[in-house]
Amino acid sequence: MITNTQNIEEIIKFYPESGRIHLNNKRMILMEADAYGTLRRDLIASLGIDRAKGFLLRHGWSNGINVAKQLKEIFPFDSEIDWLSAGGYVHGMTGYVSVEVKELKYDPATKEYYSECYWYDSVEAEQHVKQFGNHHEPVCFNLVGTAGGYVSTHVGRKIIFKEIECVGKGDLRCRLIGKSIEDWGEDIETELHYYEEENLAQELDRAFLRIEKQKEIFKRALKINEKLSKVLLAGGGLQSVVKVLGEELNHTVIIEDKNFNRLESNGGYKNHNFMEFIKFPKHDQTLRKRMNQVINEKRTVHITVPEQFGWQHERLISPIVIKNEILGYISFLKESGRYDEMEYISLERASTICAIQLLNERTAIETIQQIKGEFLNELIRGSYNEEEITYRIRILGYNLKQEYYVFLFNIEYNDELKGGEEYFIKVKKQISEMIDTEVRNFGEPCLMSTNLNQIVLLMPHEMIKRSKLEVNEFGQSILNSITNRFGNFNIMLGISSLCKQIKTLKKGFEEAEKAIEILKLKRSPLRVIFFGELGSIGKIFCSENLADLENHACELLNEIKAYDEQYNLELLKTLYYFIENQGNMQKTSRELNISMGAIRYRMKRIQEFSDLDLTNSQDFFDAHLAVQVYSFLGMMKFN
């Protein structure tokens, strides 16, 4: 048997002085791979892929027969299996491909033969991809023919090899199976005519039929293209696109967003989890490569989805791309079978139509949002003409006679944020879209504008009432959705008090800004604040007077707090409820569930520590302010 340890010079002889290479006594040539690729390219260009396939298969078959005869003359083999395996070694030795035999069965008595092999680094597949890109079918025609000719010569009956996987169509490696025509049955019928010698008249007839078939494909693709173009011009939308494709091709058609959520579908669609399939960690390398081709290389590919993800089917998927950004995907789906050239052409054209449609929709939405944003900015700045604003309100379809809250989202990021300002603008846009989606879940869309690191939203009071949530709970639910996705950003929400007229929206915006300012100063994890709950402290609290207010509170209350901590008492809590109950000891007693005597004792101790006379209105006001500041800064915590 031929092994890697043998001296190749015993098999191949080089005679550079006479310009000859011999295998035994047969002259050979050494060809550079790119030259072989160019020859193959020109052959395909001249004859067409179908005719060139037949030529290369027959050439390979003849070559396989010659190699088999020469090896029989040169080497004695220990077994039939050794002889059959030697052809693969010669393939590798001559630089065409590396062969790994996965399975080989041969019975000399019955001449039954079966083999399955892997091919690595096929020069034919490599050159085809280099010259033409990936093909939708296997392309190692010459090598397949060589394998068939070699084995058939030894076995004594016609053995046909067929590529099941091929690097030339995007697979990780080439895989082929060889068996007799009888064992192949119907599966090989479409391939047999390639092995038959044809005269020029027959070849011309075949060429004519191929051209007619190609004309029919393009004619049908053109018809579909015209229908899709009419849909686009008529503003029919994505639903009309999938309907046209489904009716023309008799396929299930689906359009999904970039996260593979279904947008539109037509035909016998079955619910399944395609995103789970995409994220599945145990795909083989071939499937991972194909998914990379569609998601990262933005190419049209054929993927087989197994039953474990909800529906076993064949999917031809093409990305919908605008400015190198994938907006979604369009796919043909069927239970089984392959996709032909016409289906590839139609899907890729449909992808372009969808891209134009989505671009039109995005542009329209962005234009409307810009108009609405500018309108809202005028309202919160108070810089508008009442007659003009009334007209524009009617045009935009809003009712500003109802009551509103101003929601102000403040977004902060680290200066070292990856992607910088450009990335932040993109994120802010995504947050705006999320807010719009969340709000629509509760009812109609709202006026929204963005400015620098802020997003302003005009939230109808009626919508919040319908949600059966308090206004701060409503705001918290929106903020939770945003922070779950954008946790690396510091996002806060300030909510104004209720604005009952258009002219109070400016004040509402100022209140929401003030609420954000207070949130930044507040020593707590709270990220939503409703200005209406702040009371008087909302009006007087700001960054300029923070230190003075904190000093005022500490002078009055620190000694009381220290006494509580030392003796495990609740003087501070008693003072808080006493002030909340407007100085009413009986109500305070009931709230704390202690006796009047205990309340009187505690109030006496409080007045001793703070030098306050809580029967005096000024001292009561000072204590009230100190308690509010203490509570606001998170320095007062009760069970």
In 192-214, which positions are buried (b, 16+ CB within 10 angstroms) versus exposed (e)?
Answer: eebbeebeeeeeeebeeeeeeee
Measured distance between the N- and C-terminal CA atoms of the chain, rounded to whole angstroms: 87
Q: How far is CA 446 from CA 357, 406, 426, 435, in A?
A: 25, 11, 21, 10
Q: Can you tell me which residue has the tokens 């207010």?
A: 549
**Domains along the chain with CATH numbers:** 8-197 (3.30.1380.20), 204-362 (3.30.450.40), 382-538 (3.30.70.270), 546-632 (1.10.10.2840)
> What pLDDT is recorded for position 62?
93
- Give the pLDDT score at 539: 60
pLDDT at 385 over 80: no
24: pLDDT strictly greater than 70: no
**How would you class 38 by CB atoms within 10 Å of its CB: exposed for 0-12, middle for 13-18, buried for 19 or more?**
middle
Is the pLDDT reported for residue 313 higher than 90?
yes
Q: What integer pLDDT is reported at residue 493 of this predicted model?
A: 93
pLDDT tens-digit readout, 265-306: 999 899 998 988 988 888 888 788 888 888 888 999 999 999
Determine how many CB atoms are found less than 10 A away from the CB of residue 32.
Answer: 9
At residue 415, does pLDDT exceed 70?
no
Query: Which segments of 48-140 does DSSP mark as H helices, in order?
Result: 49-74, 80-93, 123-132
HEC readout, 587-605: HHHHHHCCCHHHHHHHHHH
Residue 200 confidence (pLDDT) above 60? no
Lowest mean pLDDT among 172-186, 383-397, 555-569, 615-629: 383-397
Q: 541 versus 15: which is more confidently predicted?
A: 15
Structure tokens that stand for 39 in this block: 């020859």
Q: Over the stretch 517-567, which tens digit does the pLDDT of each residue have? A: 777 766 556 788 888 877 666 666 655 666 777 888 888 888 888 888 888
11-25, 46-60, 225-239, 474-488: least confidently modelled range: 11-25
Sign of CA dihedral 521, 523, 525, 530: negative
Question: Is the pLDDT score of 511 beyond 90?
Answer: no
pLDDT for the residue 357: 85
- Where is 148: in which H helix or E strand? helix 141-155
- Give residue 488's pLDDT: 80
Least reliable range by pLDDT among 138-152, 213-227, 251-265, 314-328: 213-227
Task: Read off the pLDDT of each residue in 11-16 and give the average, rounded to a whole number.
Answer: 76
CB atoms within 10 A of CB 466: 11
Which residues, listed in sequence order, are joined to residue 103 by a DSSP beta bridge? 116
pLDDT score, position 496 = 92
Instruction: Classify the phi-psi angles of 107: left when phi > 0, otherwise alpha if psi is within -120 to 50, otherwise beta.
Output: beta
Most confident of 85-94, 227-236, 311-320, 447-456: 311-320
Phi, psi values for residue 611, rounded to 5°: 60, 30
Of all residues in the chain, the percent with pLDDT exceeding 90 is 27
Q: Which residues contact 490 (CB under 8 A, 6 or more apart)?
A: 411, 412, 413
Enter the DSSP assignment of 9: G
> What does the pLDDT look like over 221-250, one tens digit per residue?
888 888 888 887 887 788 888 999 988 888
Lowest mean pLDDT among 293-302, 359-368, 579-588, 606-615: 359-368
pTM for the whole structure: 0.45
Is 16 in a helix, a strand, or coil? Answer: coil
Place of tokens 């191949």: 12
How long a stretch of residues is the chain?
639
User: Whole-angstrom Cα distance, residue 406 to residue 456?
Assistant: 7
The whole-number pLDDT of residue 5 equals: 37
Between CA 511 and CA 533 the distance in angstroms is 12
- For residue 290, what are the contacts with CB-CB under 8 A and spacing of at least 6? 170, 301, 302, 303
Interatomic CA distance for residues 268 and 281, integer angstroms:
29
Q: Determine the 3-state secondary structure of 536 from DSSP.
A: helix
pLDDT of residue 447: 82
Q: How far apart, in whole angstroms, are the C-alpha atoms of residue 552 and residue 170? A: 74
Q: Are 79 and 106 in contact (CB under 8 A)?
A: no
Q: What is the per-residue pLDDT for 543?
A: 54
Confidence grade of residue 203 (pLDDT, cut at 50, 70, 90): low
Q: State the pLDDT at residue 10.
A: 65
What's residue 4's pLDDT?
A: 40
Q: 255, 238 in Cβ contact below 8 A? A: yes
CA atoms of 634 and 639, how far apart (whole Å): 14
Q: State the average pLDDT over residues 589-594.
A: 89
Tell me the mean pLDDT in the region 310-314.
93
Give the Cα separation of 34 and 253 in Å (integer).
Answer: 41
Q: What is the mean pLDDT of the chain?
A: 84
Residue 255 has pLDDT above 80, yes or no: yes
Reduce the DSSP state of residue 72 to 3 states and report it.
helix
What is the pLDDT, as a whole number, of residue 88?
Answer: 81
Q: What is the mean pLDDT of residues 193-199?
A: 78
Nearest alpha-carbon partner for 295 in 342, 253, 256: 256
**Average pLDDT score over residue span 592-600:** 90
φ, ψ (nearest 5 deg) of residue 495: -120, 130
Query: What CA–CA distance (Å, rounded) separates 521 from 604?
Result: 33
pLDDT of res. 391: 65
Q: Does the structure show a pLDDT above 70 at 128?
A: yes
Kindly state the tokens that stand for 538.
Answer: 């909302």
For residue 624, the one-letter residue type is H
